[in-house]
Structure 1
Amino acid sequence: MKKLVVELCMGSSCFARGNSQTLAALESYLQESGTADRVDLIGHLCMGDCSKGPNIRIADTTYQGLPSDEVIQLVVHELKEWEGIQ
């Protein structure tokens, strides 16, 4: 089964700007919702564009400067889209 790919920049700038909280929130959401087996959560040392971070890529779309609750909402939406395709 193909998984939804969620990539987080874990470089020092993005990590300090909120991706540390986003990572924790995503891991918690995926475990609690039972969707961890449908998502590949990948960390990168740097995704570029540090000044606009925190950077995150969901499927093939890159987002910048989002708080963790908005990232969760995007992942929920993308998972519903993926389920419709699968």
Structure 2
Amino acid sequence: MKVSICIGSSCHLKGAKQIVEQLQSLVVGHNLKDQIELGGSFCMKNCVNGVSVTVDDKLFSVTPENAKSFFETEILKRIKDQES
């Protein structure tokens, strides 16, 4: 699974660095380094909606406050669905 976090200037100001750090920690904590490829991306053209994150090319808006719940509902759920 490929997860890209926008690190462009607008998203950076809205907390992209914190989101990257949280997602990195969650991936390691759930032992998913072999299943999830985290990457950065410059402008995803969704600047007004917060930090843009794509999961397998599906766009989401994430904040540092909801990054953990985003990981659980969007990323972990997809991993579990793939394993089923």
- TM-score calculated relative to the size of structure 1: 0.82
Aligned to 2:80: 80
SS of residue in 2 equivalent to 1:38: coil
Gaps of 5+ in 2: none
1:1-86 aligned at under 5 Å gives the runs 4-66=1-63, 67-73=66-72, 74-84=74-84
Q: Which amino acid aligns with 1:21?
A: Q
Question: CA separation of 1:65/1:72 partners in 2, compared to 1, >3 Å: closer, same or farther?
Answer: closer
Distance 1:80 1:36 in 2: 15
Q: CA RMSD in A?
A: 1.4
Runs of 4 or more above 6 Å deviation:
none
SS of residue in 2 equivalent to 1:34: coil
SS of residue in 1 equivalent to 2:27: helix
SS of residue in 2 equivalent to 1:46: coil
Task: Give the % identical residues.
Answer: 25
Gaps of 5+ in 1: none
1:27-81 deviation per Cα after TM superposition (whole angstroms, max 9, x unaligned): 0011111111101111101111211121111123111244212321121111112
